[in-house]
């Protein structure tokens, strides 16, 4: 069996997506998600100009060797752009493997450890009352876990909080917007939001919060400690993760569980975090963290340290990635939770999906491979338009140093 060609499909049904399609001499093809929010064309170019020419003629069943070829065989290893490309190649090859063996992806990586996957949704609002009302509605709609974000008095725009009634989307068309944030106002305010949320929502629902790396270690430690009475499921990205040792201070001071890694892309971003048990959940998604082949190794190592999965699943990761994440979560023992933000309606015109949300869980069917397909004609109706994530400054204009 041989790879005969591959193409990169860039489209924008409401937001930009990059999809890699690998075709074989047996007529079977596989899909991988190569979307990197705000850097779509960089990944598309790396795939088209450097990776695809070396893929042609290889046996797509050799997932381990091909992964090492594109990771260790390349002099300039790691980095978000190249790892997104490696991930997309790997996902597409596992999709092909499932299709030729006639079995869903989860069967290739351990079978079912569970029947369905617990998810959390996003809830936010401009002020505490709106947030708790929205959270109550999400719980009524079946969610058992909600991520709570709230506007902060005195801060014009808190990242992670949607504006107006449009669906939440952090990237904006054109060059990056510059936004302003005040960590001290944020730290003074956020514990009161969770106090109110617990009063209104009770203790059964899982509450999560995303700091989006906007604290220094000592600020994050204070926040984790002050949130302890409200028993969060996790506090996400409390600090920027480049300095793994920065997590030590948070751990020493608080028992609030910590999730990190949506911007990480290899196991080497986690070595200190795992071996010193500084975190509880791994956020690195399949489409940025080296695909199925690499994440199987990451989660084997994580399980030694009692660390679970909590994959990134915002809407800037395509349905191909979400389906692969559900399969992965079904199979591994150390599953924690999956982030789930339903995609906009137009996305479903382009991608055919095989998963469904019910009563707080995502369920996936047993279509061979990953089970998601792309309609290229529909994709062509939505051409790419540049959109970038914002840049952040302190209130006095200084670039943030987190
Ligand atoms: O592209 C960036 C978004 O995916 C990110 O801001 C969303 O932090 C996020 C999350 O936890 O979903
Ligand atoms: Mg996040």
* Per-residue pLDDT tens over the stretch 273-290: 999 999 999 999 999 999
Confidence band for 164, pLDDT divided at 50, 70 and 90: low
To the nearest 10 degrees (0 to 180), the angle between helices 291-304 and 80-101 is 100
pLDDT at 241 over 90: no
* Per-residue pLDDT tens over the stretch 217-233: 999 999 999 999 999 99
Range with the poorest average pLDDT among 156-160, 174-178, 293-297, 390-394: 156-160
Q: Is 182 in the pocket of ligand 1 (CB under 6 A)?
A: no
Q: Mutation test of ligand 1: which of 260, 314, 315, 316 has the most ligand atoms closer than 8 Å to its C-beta?
A: 314
User: How many angstroms does the Cα of residue 137 sit away from the middle of ligand 1?
Assistant: 22
Average pLDDT for the chain? 96
* Per-residue pLDDT tens over the stretch 287-319: 999 999 999 999 999 999 999 999 999 999 999
* pLDDT the model gives residue 165: 61
* Per-residue pLDDT tens over the stretch 256-274: 999 999 999 999 999 999 9
Nearest CA to ligand 1 atom 9: 314
Confidence band for 169, pLDDT divided at 50, 70 and 90: confident
* pLDDT the model gives residue 401: 78
pLDDT at 320 over 90: yes
User: How many angstroms does the Cα of residue 301 sit away from the middle of ligand 2?
Assistant: 22
Give the ligand at the shortest distance from the Cα of 40.
Answer: 1
Residue 212 appears among annotated catalytic residues: yes
* pLDDT the model gives residue 307: 98
Confidence band for 50, pLDDT divided at 50, 70 and 90: very high
Nearest CA to ligand 1 atom 4: 314
* pLDDT the model gives residue 36: 98
* Per-residue pLDDT tens over the stretch 180-218: 999 999 999 999 999 999 999 999 999 999 999 999 999
* Per-residue pLDDT tens over the stretch 68-112: 999 999 999 999 999 999 999 999 999 999 999 999 999 999 999
Q: Is 262 in the pocket of ligand 1 (CB under 6 A)?
A: yes
Q: Is 37 in the pocket of ligand 1 (CB under 6 A)?
A: yes
pTM over 0.85: yes
**Cβ neighbours of residue 283 under 8 Å, at least 6 residues apart?**
236, 237, 259, 260, 261, 262, 264, 310, 311, 312
């Amino acid at each position: 069996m041989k790879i005969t060609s591959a193409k990169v499909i860039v489209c924008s049904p409401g937001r930009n997506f990059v999809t890699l399609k690998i075709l074989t001499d047996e007529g079977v093809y596989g899909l991988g998600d190569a979307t990197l929010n705000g850097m779509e064309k960089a990944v598309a170019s790396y795939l088209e100009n450097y990776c695809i020419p070396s893929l042609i003629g290889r046996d797509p069943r050799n997932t381990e060797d091909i992964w090492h070829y594109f990771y260790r065989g390349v002099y300039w290893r790691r980095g978000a752009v190249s790892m997104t490309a490696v991930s997309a190649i790997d996902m597409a090859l596992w999709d092909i493997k499932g299709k030729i063996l006639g079995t869903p992806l989860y069967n290739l990586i351990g079978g079912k450890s569970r029947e369905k996957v617990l998810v959390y949704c996003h809830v936010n609002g401009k002020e505490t009352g709106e947030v708790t009302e929205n959270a109550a509605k999400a719980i009524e709609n079946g969610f058992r876990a909600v991520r709570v974000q709230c506007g902060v008095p005195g801060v014009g725009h808190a990242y992670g909080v949607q504006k107006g009634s449009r669906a939440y989307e952090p990237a904006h068309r054109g060059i990056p917007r510059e936004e302003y944030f005040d960590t001290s106002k944020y730290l003074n305010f956020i514990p009161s939001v969770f106090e109110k949320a617990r009063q209104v929502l009770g203790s059964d629902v899982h509450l999560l919060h995303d700091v989006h790396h906007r604290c220094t270690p000592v600020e994050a430690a204070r926040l984790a400690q002050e949130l302890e009475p409200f028993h969060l499921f996790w506090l996400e990205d409390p600090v920027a993760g480049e300095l793994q040792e920065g997590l030590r201070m948070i751990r020493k001071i608080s028992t609030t569980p910590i999730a990190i890694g949506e911007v990480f892309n290899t196991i080497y971003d986690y070595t200190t975090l795992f071996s010193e048990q500084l975190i509880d959940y791994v956020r690195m998604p399949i489409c940025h963290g080296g695909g199925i082949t690499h994440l199987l190794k990451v989660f084997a190592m994580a399980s030694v340290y009692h660390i679970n999965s909590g994959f990134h699943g915002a809407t800037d990761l395509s349905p191909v990635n979400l389906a692969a994440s559900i399969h992965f979560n079904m199979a591994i023992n150390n599953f924690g939770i999956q982030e789930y933000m339903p995609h906009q309606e137009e996305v479903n015109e382009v991608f055919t999906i095989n998963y469904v949300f019910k009563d707080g869980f995502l369920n996936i069917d047993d279509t061979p491979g990953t089970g998601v397909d792309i309609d290229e004609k529909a994709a062509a109706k939505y051409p790419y338009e540049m959109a970038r994530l914002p840049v952040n400054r302190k209130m006095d204009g200084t670039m943030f140093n987190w």
